[in-house]
């Protein structure tokens, strides 16, 4: 990157009588960050030039020269040999200037019937579409990892919690399938968002359209856009598609953050439900015994910057009159940061989640504590004819007795149980087992191992259908 101002003549300074202030030049430039869209910018320019030649605005020979120049520039950029210049402000003008330097005056025809306003809107949409596809693939990889673990752990019993306290026994596979359900919705949300991202703004020019006989449907099909933006003012100015993506990303990060919190708890010595392989943890510089779950903690922490970017984008948009305003240049860093953060966090989770090693014994022991089968006892009484509220009361008293004697419900003698309700018989001990409890919840959406296996199979079928 050069800051050399003297060498760069602005592409727009025809009417200007003094050079841009040195600080203003730095302040208004975006090439430091928008160069990540170089590929999309070149792809958009090649499509635009192809359309211009198809409608007769430039000749076939001019098109060939422009395409050859842009292709060579793309190669230079890929090989790190392109000299970016702050003086040329943004990715668009850097590439356009390089094209003219390379192929001469024909390069100056590329911008016919186009403005940076519709150009940048096109580039961001192309960029975001690519990144949505990349993130979607990561979501699928993560979901497959979750499904593999869930099917292995379909019968593993753990305590299900409400208010972070033992509530009822569940299967670990069922818990993991809750994560799978979340990620599936995150995927669907992104696909839905993609449909609105995938609309062509090019042709809107600065704000009102252009007087050249352009063919916007041709540009759209060259760039694989599903549709053409129908209003030029809207096309160049709204960034709702980026905001929508950030909202999807925020919800996704909220999910990852919740799982991260669970993984931090589960891997703590207090819970010890799972072991995280060493490669996902770090040590402490002072406490030799420590193995810290840095990866999930960082994912939990990084949710904050994604939520922050969503707020930044909403705020950046809310006061803007139609049409384009330079405020919109501020859309890029939050958007790029969100894309990188989400991709990194998904990569970390896709690697880490299937590598978690469950401690089945500890999970089971924890499920035994906390009277997790109390609801089963109440349901047993209801099946014997007691109204549920009365059953609730009987079991509450029995739990009180068990707490006083430091015993689990299943450890109370039959006589003690029967003292509270004559409806209780020997068969109660079957009901009070953890297996009895989870197997009883054998309906669609329930925690029974059979249901977990069925849910995994359905999710795999849906993934396979998506993968085509």
Give the C-alpha separation, 51 to 114, whole Å: 12
Counting contacts by CB under 6 A, is residue 447 touching ligand ARG? no
Q: Which stretch binds ligand ARG (CB under 6 A): 98-106, 114-122, 208-216, 284-292?
A: 114-122
Give the C-alpha separation, 279 to 23, whole Å: 46
Tally of CA atoms within 13 A in the half-sphere of 423 that contains its CB: 16
Instruction: Give the residue with the Cβ less far from ligand ARG, 30 or 171.
Output: 30
Give the C-alpha separation, 127 to 116, whole Å: 16
Give the C-alpha separation, 374 to 8, whole Å: 78
Counting contacts by CB under 6 A, is residue 171 touching ligand ARG? no
Q: Which of 20, 30, 143, 359 binds ligand ARG (CB under 6 A)?
A: 30
Give the C-alpha separation, 70 to 95, whole Å: 8
Counting contacts by CB under 6 A, is residue 328 touching ligand ARG? yes
Q: Where are the alpha helices (DSSP H) in 319-387?
A: 332-352, 360-368, 374-383
Q: Which stretch binds ligand ARG (CB under 6 A): 13-21, 321-329, 382-390, 413-421?
A: 321-329
Counting contacts by CB under 6 A, is residue 437 touching ligand ARG? no
Is residue 280 within 8 A of residue 352, CB to CB? The reply is yes
Q: Which stretch binds ligand ARG (CB under 6 A): 3-11, 239-247, 279-287, 323-331?
A: 323-331
Q: Which of 43, 114, 116, 216 binds ligand ARG (CB under 6 A)?
A: 116
Give the C-alpha separation, 273 to 438, whole Å: 18
Per annotation, catalytic residue among 6, 163, 211, 285 = 163
Instruction: Give the residue with the Cβ less far from ligand ARG, 191 or 325.
Output: 325
| Strand, coil or helix: 366 | helix
Is residue 375 within 8 A of residue 170, CB to CB? The reply is no
Instruction: Give the residue with the Cβ less far from ligand ARG, 259 or 324.
Output: 324
Instruction: Give the residue with the Cβ less far from ligand ARG, 20 or 329.
Output: 329
Counting contacts by CB under 6 A, is residue 15 touching ligand ARG? no
Per annotation, catalytic residue among 284, 303, 309, 343 = 284
Nearest distance in Å: CB 113, ligand ARG: 16
Instruction: Give the residue with the Cβ less far from ligand ARG, 179 or 336.
Output: 336
Q: Which of 15, 163, 279, 326 binds ligand ARG (CB under 6 A)?
A: 326
211 is an active site residue? no
Binding mask 269-308 for ligand ARG (x = CB under 6 A): ----------------------------------------
Counting contacts by CB under 6 A, is residue 94 touching ligand ARG? no
Q: Which stretch binds ligand ARG (CB under 6 A): 113-121, 304-312, 366-374, 459-467?
A: 113-121
284 is an active site residue? yes
Q: Where are the alpha helices (DSSP H) in 153-274?
A: 172-197, 216-222, 232-237, 240-267
Give the alpha-carbon dihedral of 296, 300, 305, 306, to 10 degrees: 90
Sorted by sequence, the CB contacts under 8 Å of residue 360 that are 6+ apart come out as 156, 157, 172
Sorted by sequence, the CB contacts under 8 Å of residue 204 that are 6+ apart come out as 115, 117, 118, 121, 229, 232, 233, 235, 236
Q: Which of 88, 95, 120, 391 binds ligand ARG (CB under 6 A)?
A: 120
Number of residues that bind ligand ARG (CB under 6 A): 10
Give the C-alpha separation, 178 to 183, whole Å: 9
Instruction: Give the residue with the Cβ less far from ligand ARG, 320 or 433.
Output: 320
Instruction: Give the residue with the Cβ less far from ligand ARG, 257 or 328.
Output: 328
Give the C-alpha separation, 246 to 253, whole Å: 10
Residues of this chain that interact with ligand ARG (CB under 6 A) are 30, 34, 90, 116-117, 120, 324, 326, 328-329
Active site residues: 163, 284
């Amino acid at each position: 990157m050069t800051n050399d101002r003297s060498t760069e003549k602005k592409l727009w300074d025809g009417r200007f009588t003094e050079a841009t202030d040195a600080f203003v030049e730095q302040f208004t430039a975006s090439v430091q960050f928008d160069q990540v869209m170089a590929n999309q910018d070149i792809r958009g320019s090649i499509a635009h030039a192809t359309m211009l030649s198809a409608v007769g605005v430039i000749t076939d020979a001019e098109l060939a020269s422009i395409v050859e120049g842009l292709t060579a520039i793309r190669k230079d950029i890929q090989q790190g040999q392109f000299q970016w210049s702050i003086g040329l402000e943004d990715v668009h003008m850097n590439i356009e200037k390089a094209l003219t330097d390379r192929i001469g005056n024909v390069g100056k025809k590329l911008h016919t019937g186009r403005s940076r306003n519709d150009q940048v809107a096109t580039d961001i949409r192309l960029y975001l579409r690519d990144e949505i596809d990349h993130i979607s693939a990561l979501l699928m990889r993560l979901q497959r990892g979750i499904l593999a673990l869930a099917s292995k752990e379909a019968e593993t019993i753990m305590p299900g919690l409400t208010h972070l306290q033992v509530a009822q026994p569940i299967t670990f596979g069922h818990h993991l399938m809750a994560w799978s359900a979340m990620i599936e919705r995150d995927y669907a949300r992104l696909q839905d968002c993609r449909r609105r991202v995938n609309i062509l703004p090019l042709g809107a020019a600065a704000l009102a359209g252009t007087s050249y006989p352009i063919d916007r449907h041709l540009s759209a099909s060259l760039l694989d856009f599903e549709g053409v933006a129908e209003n030029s003012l809207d096309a160049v100015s709204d960034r709702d598609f980026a905001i929508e993506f950030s909202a999807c990303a925020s919800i996704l990060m909220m999910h990852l953050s919740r799982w991260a919190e669970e993984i931090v708890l589960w891997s703590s010595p207090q819970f010890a439900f799972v072991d995280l392989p060493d490669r996902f943890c770090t040590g402490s510089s002072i406490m030799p015994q420590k193995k810290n779950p840095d990866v999930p903690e960082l994912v939990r922490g990084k949710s904050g910057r994604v939520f922050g970017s969503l707020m930044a984008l909403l705020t950046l948009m809310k006061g803007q009159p139609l049409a384009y305003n330079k405020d919109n240049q501020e859309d890029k860093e939050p958007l790029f940061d969100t894309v990188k953060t989400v991709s990194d966090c998904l990569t970390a989770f896709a690697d880490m989640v299937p590598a978690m090693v469950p401690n089945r014994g500890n999970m089971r022991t924890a499920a035994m504590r906390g009277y997790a089968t109390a609801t089963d006892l109440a349901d047993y009484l209801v099946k014997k004819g007691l109204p549920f509220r009365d059953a609730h009361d009987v079991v509450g008293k029995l739990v009180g007795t068990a707490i006083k004697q430091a015993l689990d419900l299943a450890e109370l003698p039959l006589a003690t149980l029967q003292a509270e309700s004559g409806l209780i018989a020997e068969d109660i001990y079957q009901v009070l087992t953890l297996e009895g409890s989870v197997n009883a919840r054998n309906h669609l959406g329930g925690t029974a191992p059979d249901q977990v296996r069925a849910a995994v199979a359905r999710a795999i079928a849906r993934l396979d259908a998506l993968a085509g």
